[in-house]
C-alpha cells in the first residue's frame, strides 16, 4: 500500500490554479417530491463541479437518488449563460436546446437504486463567464437532498438529524470512550514473532481493501480471512468501545503508484457504490452493533492525489489525470460519507496525506479547499465528517524537537521550503485551516504513529552545531529516511507513540491504522489476485524519480505484497521503537 507521495518541492508550488482552482467551484441543490407509492417519498441530490480554462471546461456531475429505485433516469437543468454549450459527454447521452440540457442514462447505467449515485460528465465551451446551474430535476423531481414533502413539519424530517439515528449518542471523540478493538488475526501474527507480545494488545485498524474482504477471504497472503461482520461480532465479544476500519477500494485507486492499485477500474463507480459501500453500510447499520463506536478511515491517498499529481506538474500521472477528469474520487468519497454518516454510531475520518506531501503553501490551501468542497457536496455537508487523519501508513516523525522551520532551514534539501517538518505541527495547522473553511470547531485529527518512532542508536539527542544548513538539519532530524518522498518499507523505522486518546489539543488520538508488520509493497513483482502491482519504490536498488528527487528508495529487501505479513519489518519496528519497548 503506497501512502506517501512527495510531489517535489520545486514543482509543488507551481500552477495550482489549473489543477484545483475552478475545478472545485461546487453547486448543489436538493428538492422533494411525493412519490408514486403510498408512504414513500422521492428525492435526489446533485453536485456539479467544473474545471475551467479560457473558453472551455469539464463538468462532473454526481446524481444521488434518494427515493425509490429507478430503472432509467434523466437529469435536466438550464445553463445560466447562453454561450455555455456541451461538446462531448460520458456516462450519459445528452441533448441541448438553447440553454436547456438533458442528460439521460446510457444502456448500461440506467439502474439507480435508493441512495445510489451515478456520475455523468461532459466537456463544454463558454464565453464571458461559466456559472453553474442553480437547480436540477431527476425524472421530473426537483433535487433538494430531501426525501420528505417540503410543506411538512421540518422537525419530523429524519434528514434534519445530522447523526442519522436520533437515539444514538454521537460523541465528540469516539477514541475517548474506552478500549479499542484488538484484531485477533493481527494479534496472532504479532505474538508469533519473538517479542511481539509486547505490542500485540494495541488496537489496529481492519483494512477493507477489496470487495471480497467484506465477507472474508480464504487467502493467507494478505489481510486474513475474517469479514466485516466477523470483526464486529468479535468487537462486541471483547466488550470493545470502538473499532476502526479503513474504507479503501475507490475506482482507479492509488493513481500515482502501483503497489496498492485496486480491483476497480477508473469508471467502475457503480460497482464501488453497490458492491462495496452499500454492503459495508448495511452490516455496520445492524442494531447488534449499536453500542460500538464504528470508526471509518476514508479512502487513503485519493483526494490528495488530485492536488499534486495531475495537470502539468512534473509529478503528474495519466491515471491521476483520468481520475480528476471523471470525478470518481470525489463522487466515491461523497457516496461513502453519505451512506456511512447516516448510521448514528459511525464516525468518518477522511485521509489528509501528511506534511511531506501537502505541507507546501499552495498544496496546503488547495487540499483544504478540495476537502471542504467535497464534504459540502454530501447530504449532511460538514456534519458528515468527524475529522481527518494524517500520516496514514507513513513514516513522518511526530515531532522534530531539534529543528525549527525558519528562513534558514527552509533552504535545506530536507525541508525544501515546506511550511512544516513534522506531523504534530502540520495536523494542528491543517485542522485550523479546515475550520476556517467551515468545518465544525470540534473537528478532530488523528495521526498514524504505527511506524514513525525512529528510535534506536541513530536517533539524535540534540541539535547539531554544524554551520552548513544541510549538515545541521540532517544531523538534527529524527526522521532518518533518505528523502521524505520515500514511503515503502523504510529501513531503520520504528514503532511510534502507542495508540492514545486525546494526546493533544485538537488531536482525537494517536492511532495504529496501518498494522505494524504489514508490508507496504513487494520488492519485486509477485503475481496476485488482489490487484496489487509492483512499484519500483519498494525495490531497495531503485534510484528514484521526481517524487523523491531521484534518491534511493530506502526500502527493505524481500518484502511481500502490500498488506501481507513482513516479519523482518515487524522486528525492525520493534527494535527501533520510540518510546522504546
Q: CA–CA separation, 332 vs 268, rounded Å?
A: 10
Q: How confident is the model at residue 150 (pLDDT cuts 50, 70, 90)?
A: very low
Q: How confident is the model at residue 111 (pLDDT cuts 50, 70, 90)?
A: confident
Question: pLDDT per residue over 504-531, tens digit each?
Answer: 999 999 999 999 999 999 999 999 887 7
Res 72 pLDDT > 70:
yes
Any idea what DSSP says for residue 499?
A: P
Cβ–Cβ under 8 Å, residues 555 and 489: yes
Question: Mean pLDDT throughout 317-324?
Answer: 94
Q: How confident is the model at residue 223 (pLDDT cuts 50, 70, 90)?
A: low
Res 192 pLDDT > 50:
yes
Q: Exposure of 107 by Cβ count < 10 A (0-12 exposed, 13-18 middle, 19+ buried)?
A: exposed
Mean pLDDT of the chain: 87
Query: 165 catalytic, yes or no?
Result: no
Position 219 scores a pLDDT of 54
Beta-strand runs (E) in 91-138: 93-97, 100-104, 117-118, 121-125, 136-138
* Cβ neighbours, 10 Å, residue 198: 14
Query: 386 catalytic, yes or no?
Result: no
Q: How confident is the model at residue 145 (pLDDT cuts 50, 70, 90)?
A: confident
Q: How confident is the model at residue 563 (pLDDT cuts 50, 70, 90)?
A: confident
Q: All domains of the chain, ordered by start, with CATH?
A: 16-160 (2.60.40.290), 168-517+527-575 (3.20.20.40)
Res 29 pLDDT > 80:
no
The fraction of the chain above a pLDDT of 70, given in percent, is 88
Q: CA–CA separation, 371 vs 434, rounded Å?
A: 8
Cβ–Cβ under 8 Å, residues 314 and 546: yes
Question: Mean pLDDT throughout 537-559?
Answer: 91
Report which of 70, 42, 73, 35 is spatially closest to residue 146, judged by C-alpha positions.
Answer: 42
Q: Collect all residues with Cβ–Cβ distance below 8 Å to 370 and sequence separation of at least 6.
A: 20, 24, 303, 306, 307
Q: CA–CA separation, 280 vs 295, rounded Å?
A: 13
Question: Mean pLDDT throughout 136-143?
Answer: 91
Position 7 scores a pLDDT of 38
Q: Pick the catalytic residue from 301, 448, 535, 539.
A: 301
Q: How confident is the model at residue 313 (pLDDT cuts 50, 70, 90)?
A: confident
Q: Pick the catalytic residue from 386, 448, 520, 539.
A: 520
Q: pTM of the prediction? A: 0.75
Q: CA–CA separation, 341 vs 181, rounded Å?
A: 21
Lowest mean pLDDT among 121-125, 151-155, 574-578: 151-155
Measure CA of the first residue to CA of the last residue in the chain; give whole Å: 26
Res 315 pLDDT > 60:
yes
Amino acid at each position: 500500500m503506497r501512502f506517501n507521495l512527495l510531489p517535489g518541492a520545486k514543482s509543488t508550488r507551481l500552477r495550482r490554479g489549473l489543477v484545483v482552482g475552478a475545478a472545485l467551484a461546487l453547486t448543489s441543490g436538493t428538492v422533494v417530491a411525493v412519490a408514486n407509492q403510498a408512504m414513500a417519498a422521492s428525492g435526489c441530490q446533485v453536485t456539479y463541479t467544473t474545471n475551467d480554462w479560457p473558453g472551455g471546461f469539464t463538468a462532473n456531475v454526481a446524481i444521488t437518488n434518494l427515493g425509490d429505485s429507478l430503472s432509467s433516469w434523466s437529469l435536466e437543468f438550464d445553463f445560466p449563460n447562453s454561450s455555455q454549450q456541451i461538446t462531448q459527454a460520458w456516462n450519459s447521452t445528452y441533448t441541448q436546446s438553447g440553454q436547456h440540457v438533458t442528460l439521460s442514462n446510457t444502456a448500461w447505467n440506467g439502474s439507480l437504486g435508493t441512495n445510489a449515485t451515478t456520475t455523468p460528465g461532459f466537456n463544454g465551451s463558454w464565453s464571458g463567464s461559466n456559472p453553474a446551474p442553480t437547480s436540477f430535476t431527476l425524472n421530473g423531481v426537483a433535487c433538494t437532498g430531501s426525501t420528505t414533502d417540503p410543506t411538512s413539519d421540518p422537525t419530523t424530517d429524519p434528514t434534519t438529524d445530522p447523526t442519522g439515528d436520533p437515539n444514538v449518542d454521537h460523541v465528540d471523540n469516539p477514541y475517548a470512550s474506552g478500549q479499542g478493538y484488538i484484531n485477533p488475526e493481527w494479534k496472532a501474527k504479532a505474538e508469533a514473532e519473538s517479542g511481539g507480545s509486547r505490542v500485540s494488545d494495541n488496537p489496529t485498524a481492519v483494512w477493507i481493501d477489496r470487495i471480497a474482504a467484506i465477507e472474508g477471504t480464504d487467502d493467507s497472503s494478505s489481510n486474513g480471512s475474517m469479514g466485516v461482520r466477523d470483526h464486529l461480532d468479535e468487537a462486541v465479544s471483547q466488550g470493545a468501545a470502538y473499532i476502526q476500519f479503513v474504507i479503501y477500494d475507490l475506482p482507479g485507486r492509488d493513481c500515482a503508484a502501483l503497489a496498492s492499485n485496486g480491483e476497480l477500474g477508473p469508471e467502475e463507480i457503480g460497482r464501488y457504490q453497490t458492491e462495496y459501500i452499500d454492503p459495508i453500510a448495511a452490516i455496520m447499520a445492524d442494531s447488534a452493533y449499536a453500542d460500538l463506536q464504528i470508526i471509518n478511515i476514508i479512502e487513503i491517498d485519493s483526494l490528495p492525489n488530485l492536488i499534486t499529481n495531475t495537470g502539468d506538474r512534473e509529478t503528474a500521472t495519466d491515471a491521476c489525470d483520468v481520475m480528476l477528469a471523471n470525478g470518481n474520487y470525489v463522487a466515491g468519497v461523497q457516496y461513502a460519507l453519505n451512506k456511512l454518516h447516516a448510521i448514528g454510531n459511525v464516525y468518518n475520518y477522511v485521509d489528509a496525506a501528511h506534511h511531506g506531501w501537502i505541507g507546501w503553501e499552495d498544496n496546503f490551501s488547495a487540499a483544504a479547499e478540495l476537502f471542504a468542497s467535497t464534504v459540502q457536496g454530501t447530504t449532511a455537508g460538514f456534519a458528515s465528517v468527524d475529522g481527518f487523519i494524517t500520516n496514514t501508513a507513513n513514516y513522518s516523525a511526530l515531532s522534530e524537537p531539534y529543528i525549527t522551520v525558519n528562513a534558514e532551514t527552509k533552504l535545506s534539501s530536507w525541508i525544501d521550503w515546506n511550511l512544516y517538518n513534522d506531523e504534530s505541527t502540520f495536523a494542528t495547522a491543517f485542522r485550523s485551516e479546515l475550520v476556517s473553511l467551515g468545518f465544525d470547531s470540534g473537528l478532530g485529527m488523528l495521526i498514524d504513529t504505527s511506524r514513525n518512532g525512529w528510535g534506536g542508536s541513530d536517533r539524535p539527542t540534540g541539535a547539531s552545531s554544524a554551520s552548513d544548513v544541510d549538515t545541521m538539519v540532517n544531523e538534527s532530524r529524527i526522521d532518518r529516511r533518505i528523502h521524505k518522498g520515500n514511503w515503502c518499507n523504510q529501513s531503520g523505522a520504528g514503532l511510534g507513540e502507542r495508540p492514545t486518546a486525546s494526546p493533544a489539543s485538537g488531536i482525537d488520538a494517536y492511532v495504529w491504522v496501518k498494522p505494524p508488520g504489514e508490508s507496504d509493497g513487494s520488492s519485486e513483482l509477485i503475481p496476485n489476485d488482489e490487484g496489487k502491482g509492483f512499484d519500483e519504490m519498494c525495490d531497495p536498488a531503485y534510484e528514484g524519480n521526481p517524487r523523491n528527487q531521484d534518491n534511493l528508495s530506502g526500502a527493505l529487501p524481500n518484502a511481500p505484497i502490500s498488506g501481507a505479513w513482513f516479519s523482518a519489518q515487524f522486528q525492525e519496528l520493534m527494535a527501533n521503537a520510540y518510546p522504546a519497548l
